[in-house]
């Protein structure tokens, strides 16, 4: 019988020999490859933490002890070991198992994650609560070297290191973020990896120093000084030591026995401890080892060849990358920024073509925004390509550093709207609501990729803060007949009709276009407006629409609260509009995981849903 099938609870791991645990690691890898090849998901990171996760569950007693997975995309092995092996066929599917830790899914998921660099703050909070309540359990944060580039992680290290709180941080160092990891800390880690001074030596030194008799104040002080100097010379991870952590490592994260040994030692130590574990992203699957970035988050694929089973179509991200290169050739002031997403945002080719004009700042969206402001302040034309959900991290910076000073920064907001399988932590459904109130900011959204390219060209010539939001993936099969020239604050009427008006934004214009055809077949004539500028509104056209129609529908891939429809309502109130405005968008709830198609349907934003809402209301 497979060892994997003999595990009913993570506590069962304590019964197995090291040899059996190694066999278990192999079985888990086969299981992961087999299952993720069918469902898609975050494969490479999980293959890298198989032994580490087994060791954590062998040494700690969950759910009493707490493990917080930073980002959480590497929690699949943890899910397998905590009774959810049978749910993998439903991974990331609507109604199925989430790809991230979810306390409402299992008591073994101590905290929900999804965005990077939060784990040390959470762990410190939990540890402080434990101490105040005089409870006894261990708290462990598992954070990757990529996640460690995020400002929050530094803030938490700074606080935890000074706190004397018992807390373990496991730094999983695989030299990779999604792409190659960046920054000077990453360089420092790689130096430790390549010039390691082993843990045993550290213990020997500590033991030796303890034996120096503490007679007299002066001798004690000298001993302390010697100790500090020796530490500088001989102990790895001095940065962490200086921050107040006991640093243990680097250790081979694929050696279960060794990891267990160090975890046991860490558990006994007082105060904050950081264990530096070195792993290989994609370990055990040759294609993922060779291209860990491609297998970071992967669509279903063929196990034998590693080839993707999804047809590749033109995406907004790839069109963005193409337009950036075209503009980069013409304008040497154009610079591009990413926060650790060169591939996802389509900027990889730009980075290769113009390395001196490309900045990967690590998982540091706040810094990315303000870096862009600085570049703009000194005469460059920065474009920060960032997912809608991650721009939430840089909100204050958009207001404070870009918009107050009217810096000509472009926020290229990818993955706006429903992203699908990543679920509630990643849906890009807030950006219209959080950006719309900011003075001086112009916000656009294209009806399709062709218009997206036109808008980018317009933006490249525009001098001011601008945000353009566009969805994950590509277009549906809608062929528009017209593309008016882009002009600041001007909307585009795509069909004329006297019975009702539909004001649609972004990709929702495509669904609305099909709705207009269907309504026409029923003898209902609708005017469809492509509201290209979310801000400023085309108030001239909107005032006309108020004059001509008794009922107006707004459609957007964003929350209703504070969204585009709300801005139409605000203007209607100003103009004392007497008709009805029906808003379509997402309700006041977090949107779960599932395919974009299913979620559009669920929230009435697919063609049938929009059609039904209109028919119900006229």
Ligand X SMILES: Cc1ncc(C[n+]2csc(CCOP(=O)(O)OP(=O)(O)O)c2C)c(N)n1
Q: Which of 40, 41, 72, 144 is close enough to bind Mg ion by CB under 5 A? A: 144
Q: Where are the alpha helices (DSSP H) in 354-448?
A: 365-377, 388-391, 395-397, 431-435
For position 506 contacting ligand DXP by CB under 6 A, the verdict is: no
Rounded to whole angstroms, the Cα distance separating 2 from 4 reads 5
CB atoms within 10 A of CB 263: 24
Partner in contact with 472, chosen from ligand DXP, ligand X, Mg ion, none, beta carbon below 5 to 8 Å by kind? ligand DXP
Pairing of strands 492-495, 526-530: antiparallel
Catalytic-residue membership of 393: yes
- Closest by CA to 420, choosing from 586, 598, 250, is 598
Residue 344 interacts with ligand DXP (CB under 6 A): yes or no: yes
Pick the closer one to ligand X by CB: 430 or 603. Answer: 430
Told to check if 46 binds Mg ion by CB under 5 A, we report no
- Does 285 show up as a binding residue in the annotation? yes
**Given candidates 472, 532, 535, 593, which one binds ligand DXP under the rule CB under 6 A?**
472
> Least distance to ligand X from the beta carbon of 405, Å?
25
Give the whole-angstrom CA distance, residue 307 versus residue 130: 47
Report d(CA 555, CA 508) in Å as an integer: 6
Helix or strand run (H / E) with residue 252: strand 246-252
Q: What angle do helix axes 50-59 and 18-39 make, rounded to 10 degrees?
A: 130
Q: Is 400 annotated as a binding-site member?
A: no
**329 is annotated as contributing to ligand binding:** no
Q: Given the rule CB under 6 A, which residues bind ligand X?
A: 45, 48, 71, 73-74, 115-116, 144-147, 172, 174, 176-178, 281, 339-341, 363, 365, 390, 393
Given 365, 451, 492, 556, the catalytic residue: 365
- Interaction with ligand DXP in 277-306: which residues (CB under 6 A)? 296-297
Taking the least distance from each CB to ligand X, the nearer of 45 and 511 is 45
- Consult the annotation and say whether 174 binds a ligand: yes
Question: If binding is defined by CB under 6 A, does position 422 make contact with ligand DXP?
Answer: yes
CB of 522 to ligand DXP, least distance (A): 37
Nearest residue (CB) to ligand X, 350 versus 549: 350
Q: How far is the CB of 19 from ligand DXP (least distance, A)?
A: 34
Q: Are 136 and 127 in contact (CB under 8 A)?
A: no
Q: Which residue's CB is nearer to Mg ion, number 84 or number 281?
A: 281
* Catalytic status, residue 365: yes
Contacts of 3 (CB under 8 A, 6+ apart): 16, 20, 23, 24, 27
585 in a labelled binding site: no
Q: Interface with Mg ion includes 279 (CB under 5 A)?
A: no
The token duo for 282 is 């994609």
- Distance, CA of 171 to CA of 249 (rounded, Å): 10
Residues 162-181 close enough to bind Mg ion by CB under 5 A: 174, 176
Q: How many CB atoms lie within 10 A of CB 302?
A: 11
Does the annotation mark 281 as catalytic?
Answer: yes
Task: State how far the Cα of 191 lies from the Cα of 201, in Å rounded to an integer.
Answer: 18
Q: Is 145 annotated as a binding residue?
A: yes
Q: Is 275 helix (H, G, I), strand (E, B) or coil?
A: strand
Q: Report whether 73 belongs to an annotated binding site.
A: yes
In this structure, the strands spanning 500-504 and 551-559 are: parallel
Residue list for the binding site:
73, 114-116, 145-147, 174, 285, 365
Which residues are annotated binding-site positions for thiamine diphosphate? 73, 114-116, 146-147, 174, 285, 365
């Amino acid at each position: 019988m497979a060892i994997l099938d003999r595990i009913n609870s993570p506590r069962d791991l304590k019964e197995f020999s090291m040899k059996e645990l190694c066999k278990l690691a192999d079985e888990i890898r086969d299981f992961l490859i087999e299952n993720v090849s069918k469902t898609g998901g975050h494969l490479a990171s999980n293959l890298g933490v198989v032994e580490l996760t087994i060791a954590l569950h062998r040494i700690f007693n969950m759910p009493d002890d707490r493990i917080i997975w930073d980002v959480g995309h590497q929690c699949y092995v943890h899910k397998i070991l905590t009774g959810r092996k049978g749910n993998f066929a439903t991974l990331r599917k609507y109604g199925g198992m989430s790809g991230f830790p979810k306390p409402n899914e299992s008591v073994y998921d101590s905290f929900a994650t999804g965005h990077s660099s939060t784990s040390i703050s959470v762990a410190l909070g939990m540890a402080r609560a434990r101490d105040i309540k005089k409870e006894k359990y261990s708290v462990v944060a598992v954070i990757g070297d990529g996640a460690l580039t995020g400002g929050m992680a530094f803030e938490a290290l700074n606080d935890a290191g000074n706190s004397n709180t018992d807390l373990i941080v496991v730094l999983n160092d695989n030299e990779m973020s999604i792409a190659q990891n960046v920054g000077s800390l990453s360089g420092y880690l790689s130096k430790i990896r390549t010039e390691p001074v082993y843990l045993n030596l550290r213990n020997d030194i500590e033991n030796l120093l303890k034996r120096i008799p503490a007679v007299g104040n002066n001798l004690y002080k000298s001993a302390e000084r010697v100790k500090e100097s020796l530490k500088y010379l001989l102990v790895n991870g001095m940065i962490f030591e200086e921050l107040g952590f006991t640093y243990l490592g680097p250790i081979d994260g694929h050696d279960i026995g060794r990891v267990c040994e160090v975890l046991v030692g860490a558990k006994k130590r007082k105060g904050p401890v950081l264990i530096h574990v070195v792993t290989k992203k994609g370990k055990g699957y040759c294609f993922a080892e060779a291209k860990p970035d491609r297998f970071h988050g992967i669509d279903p694929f063929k196990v034998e060849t590693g080839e993707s089973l999804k047809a590749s179509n033109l995406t907004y991200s790839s069109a963005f990358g193409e337009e950036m290169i075209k503009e980069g050739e013409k304008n040497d002031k154009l610079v591009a920024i990413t926060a650790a997403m060169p591939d996802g945002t389509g900027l990889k080719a730009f980075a290769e073509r113009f390395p001196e004009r490309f900045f990967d700042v690590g998982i540091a969206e706040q810094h990315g925004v303000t870096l862009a402001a600085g570049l703009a302040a000194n005469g460059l034309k920065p474009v920060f390509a960032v997912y809608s959900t991650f721009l939430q991290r840089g909100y204050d910076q958009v207001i404070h550093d870009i918009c107050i000073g009217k810096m000509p920064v472009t926020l290229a907001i990818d993955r706006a709207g429903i992203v699908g399988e990543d679920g509630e932590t990643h849906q890009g459904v807030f950006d219209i609501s959080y950006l719309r109130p900011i003075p001086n900011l112009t916000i656009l959204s294209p009806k399709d990729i062709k218009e997206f390219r036109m808008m980018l060209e317009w933006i490249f010539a525009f001098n001011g803060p601008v945000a353009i939001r566009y969805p994950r993936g590509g277009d549906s099969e809608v062929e528009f007949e017209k593309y008016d020239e882009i002009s600041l604050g001007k909307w585009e009427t795509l069909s004329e009709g006297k019975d009702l008006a539909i004001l649609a934004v972004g990709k929702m214009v495509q669904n609305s276009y099909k709705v207009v055809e269907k309504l026409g077949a029923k003898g209902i004539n609708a005017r469809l407006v492509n509201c290209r500028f979310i801000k400023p509104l085309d108030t001239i056209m909107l005032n006309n629409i108020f004059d001509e129609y008794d009922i107006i529908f707004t459609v957007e891939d964003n929350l209703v609260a504070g969204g585009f429809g709300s801005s139409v309502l605000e203007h209607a109130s100003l103009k004392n509009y007497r008709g009805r405005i029906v808003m379509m968008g997402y309700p006041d709830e977090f949107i779960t995981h599932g395919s974009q198609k299913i979620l559009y349907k669920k929230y009435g934003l697919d063609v049938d849903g929009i059609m039904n809402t209109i028919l119900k209301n006229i």
